[in-house]
């Protein structure tokens, strides 16, 4: 194994080159080597200054998160950074690429900071339910003040070199090679007699208790469901009121409270789950051009994603007015990103220029990839794929964006099923991170590998799933939605259900989601579902609303009313009357339903359906299910996903509740799957089941 760092000399300046692929994370091995290097160079009389630099694309991208669930191994990062800061000769951080979390804290422990134009520096610990625990909460305010420190740490978003320089986090910007520039600056510092500049020796800027109270009051309500935001403010307030060492100890205590929380464990679990398995690079085909069929909202969003990632895109729609509207949507969305500073004007213009329109499928004969995003109708899609199978070049990959339809039936129509798979984007496609890559019965290794590679290239999370009605996400959605529909008939209201599930942490309640997506969309999809449950109560309320033309936001009426210029949702007494009438017709007695029952029935139904999907091999792992639900359906990230959440509660507790509902509601929906029942009986977990499979148990 190669050494994690090297020491190189440039005259009297020593350069510590961190070389711990892939991102120079501060794992135990690197910390140990860095401490040894610092002590050696600090005692070497021939060394007058030290430059700390990262090999590869990053300075230090953070701590090694995999160590957070293991016993701490010295040297701890706090100890290492205290020793780095204690050096008796100037230490310059040569910053480039990512300097995040522990990397940013390392930069603060250095005496001076130089950076190049590609720097992204920040404190993203809050996104993992943590706070900067290695001195960041104590050193940063001494350098940039309270407001910038609060913004950087509670927001978690990195800043660029211009912003970092403006607030004083970076001392010198270097255009060109940052290592050479940092070495030259280190020589200047020595020649000018500069001494080590230790942030711990600076006094904390003045602050009032009102400053922190006002910041807490201004934080969104959702922040208080998480362990980190409030504790970050607590740690910074301690830095304002306590000596450096005491404030550092307090920050470490707060860090440990966060680390042990179920919320942080869930967020760290998702951090690794979203990285998934490594790409099958050898099998992936080269893709530089793509066609998108259908210029509606979904097709335009897919085209935007592809074009901004550098692919040439042909957007095809047989209706000229639809094509024109789609191209306009592509241009306005990309140009809007430039106006918001998310990309340069030049990059936006180049991306818009990569998209051209056509009304003729034959224009796709030479592209490397086709993504069909036409109307969700099996006959329509089969007809399109029959044409694509004939006209597309050999080895072109053909993907359907269906959300529920049979991928094998679509693939068979192409006459080249090995080249076909599903590529289920979520709306809006240019914003939502998730793509379900649907493995057909005959999908080739090259086809699946290519779609995974393209998904990664366009900055999205690809999860490979099996082929069944609704795949993983929408298949489970029907279990979740089924329960909310039954509870409407049993006496709950749309707003009560949405309120309970939003309080649980869902991004939106299911009735509000239905109105946003369009109740007609789900209605049409259910009409094509041959294995729909034989139950007159199943989605009875949604179906009746759709049949009455109450499609949701698009029509101004759905589960809610959308009146006025703000189109804000409002309860609608007409919906309550409709629900009562349907319940009476079905003989369903109405009652008051507690919030706890609403949450249990919807969330436990998800876990049981997820277990069934695992048994059938539609999902490869519980982690895949959790990634899908947290990124595609608004499941609260701090709960880790439905399967992780069930593990956290305890599967025996889940089963106990399910048995109760089975007795109250009957066995049709509440009989536990064999996998869930078996795991609960032996006090197992979904995570343990998956680990056993990986180990061949």
Contact between 491 and 590 under an 8 Å Cβ cutoff? The reply is yes
Please tell me which residue in 8, 67, 79, 105 is annotated as part of the active site: 105
125 among known catalytic residues: yes
Phi-psi region of 395 (alpha: psi -120 to 50; beta: other; left: phi over 0): left
Contact between 401 and 303 under an 8 Å Cβ cutoff? The reply is no
CA 233, CA 220: separation in Å to the nearest integer?
Answer: 14
Counting every residue written for the chain, the total comes to 697
Contact between 410 and 279 under an 8 Å Cβ cutoff? The reply is no
Contact between 650 and 686 under an 8 Å Cβ cutoff? The reply is no
Beta strand spans in 185-337 (E): 289-293, 312-316
Please tell me which residue in 85, 125, 495, 600 is annotated as part of the active site: 125
Q: Which residue has the tokens 């999907």?
A: 613
Q: What residues are paired with 51 via a beta bridge?
A: 15, 92
CA 11, CA 7: separation in Å to the nearest integer?
Answer: 12
105 among known catalytic residues: yes
Q: Which residues contact 228 (CB under 8 A, 6 or more apart)?
A: 125, 126, 128, 129, 130, 131, 258, 264
Beta strand spans in 311-468 (E): 312-316, 355-358, 369-372, 397-400, 420-425, 434-438, 461-465
Handedness of CA 16, 20, 23, 29 (dihedral sign): negative
Q: Comparing C-alpha atoms, which of 299, 677, 485, 51 is closest to residue 689? A: 677
Contact between 473 and 463 under an 8 Å Cβ cutoff? The reply is no
Give the tokens for residue 517: 């997506």
Give the tokens for residue 117: 């134009």
CA 306, CA 449: separation in Å to the nearest integer?
Answer: 17
Count CA atoms closer than 13 A to 99's CA, side-chain side: 32
Positions marked active-site? 105, 125
């Amino acid at each position: 194994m190669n050494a994690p760092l090297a020491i190189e000399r440039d005259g009297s300046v020593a350069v510590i080159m961190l070389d711990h692929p892939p991102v120079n994370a501060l794992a135990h091995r690197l910390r140990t080597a860095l401490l040894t290097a610092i002590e050696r160079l600090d005692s070497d009389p021939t060394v007058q200054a030290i430059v700390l630099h990262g090999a590869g694309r990053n300075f230090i991208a953070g701590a090694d998160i995999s160590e957070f669930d293991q016993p701490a191994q010295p040297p701890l990062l706090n100890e290492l950074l205290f020793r780095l800061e204690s050096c008796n000769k100037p230490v310059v951080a040569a910053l480039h690429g990512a300097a995040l979390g522990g990397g940013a804290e390392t930069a603060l422990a250095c005496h001076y900071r130089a950076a190049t134009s590609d720097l992204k520096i920040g404190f993203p610990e809050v996104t993992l339910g943590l706070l900067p625990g290695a001195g960041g909460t104590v050193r940063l305010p001494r350098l940039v003040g309270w407001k910038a420190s609060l913004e950087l740490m509670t927001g978690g978003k990195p800043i660029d070199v211009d912003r970092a320089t403006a607030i004083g986090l970076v001392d010198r910007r270097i255009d060109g090679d940052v290592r050479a520039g940092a070495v030259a600056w280190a020589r200047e510092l020595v020649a000018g007699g500069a001494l080590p500049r230790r942030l711990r020796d600076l006094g904390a800027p003045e602050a009032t208790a009102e400053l922190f109270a006002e910041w807490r009051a201004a934080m969104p309500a959702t922040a208080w469901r998480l362990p980190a935001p409030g504790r970050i403010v607590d740690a910074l307030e301690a830095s304002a009121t306590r000596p450096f060492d005491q404030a550092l100890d307090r920050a470490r205590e707060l860090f440990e409270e966060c680390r042990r929380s179920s919320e942080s464990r869930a967020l760290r679990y998702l951090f690794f789950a979203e990285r998934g398995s490594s790409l099958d690079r050898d099998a992936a085909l080269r893709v530089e051009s793509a066609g998108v069929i259908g210029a509606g909202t979904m097709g335009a969003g897919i085209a935007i994603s592809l074009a901004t990632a550098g692919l040439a895109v042909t957007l095809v729609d047989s209706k000229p007015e639809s094509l024109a509207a789609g191209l306009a949507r592509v241009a306005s969305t990309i140009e809007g990103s430039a106006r918001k500073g998310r990309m340069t004007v030049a990059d936006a213009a180049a991306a818009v220029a990569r998209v051209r329109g056509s009304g003729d499928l034959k224009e796709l004969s030479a592209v490397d990839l086709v993504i069909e995003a036409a109307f969700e109708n099996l006959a329509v899609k089969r007809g399109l794929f029959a044409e694509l199978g004939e006209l597309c070049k050999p080895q072109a990959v053909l993907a359907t964006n269906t959300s529920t339809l049979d991928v094998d039936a679509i693939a068979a129509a192409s006459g080249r099923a090995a080249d076909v798979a599903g590529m289920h984007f979520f709306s809006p496609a240019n914003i939502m991170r998730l793509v379900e890559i649907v493995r057909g019965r005959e999908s080739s290794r090259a086809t699946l590998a290519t779609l995974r590679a393209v998904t990664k290239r366009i900055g999205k999370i690809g999860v490979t799933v099996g082929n069944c009605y609704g795949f993983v996400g929408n298949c489970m959605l029907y279990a979740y939605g089924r329960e909310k529909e039954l509870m409407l008939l049993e006496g709950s209201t749309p707003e009560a259900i949405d309120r309970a599930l939003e309080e649980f942490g869902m991004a939106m309640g299911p009735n509000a989601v239905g109105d946003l997506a369009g109740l007609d969309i789900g209605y049409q999809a259910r009409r094509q579902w041959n294995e729909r449950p034989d139950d007159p109560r199943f989605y009875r309320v949604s179906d009746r609303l759709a049949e009455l033309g109450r499609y949701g936001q698009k029509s101004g009426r759905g589960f809610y009313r959308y009146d006025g210029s703000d189109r804000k949702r409002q309860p609608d007494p007409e919906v309550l009357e409709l629900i009562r009438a349907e319940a009476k017709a079905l003989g369903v007695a109405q009652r008051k339903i507690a919030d706890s029952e609403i949450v249990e029935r919807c969330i436990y139904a998800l876990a049981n359906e997820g277990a069934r999907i695992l048994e059938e091999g539609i999902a490869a792992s519980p982690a895949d299910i959790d990634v899908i639900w947290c990124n595609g359906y608004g499941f609260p990230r701090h709960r880790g996903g439905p399967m992780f959440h069930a593990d956290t509660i305890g599967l025996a507790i889940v089963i106990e509740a399910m048995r109760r509902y089975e007795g109250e509601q009957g066995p049709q929906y509440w009989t536990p799957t064999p996998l869930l029942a078996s795991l609960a009986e032996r006090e197992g977990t979904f995570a343990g089941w998956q680990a056993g499979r990986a180990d061949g148990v």
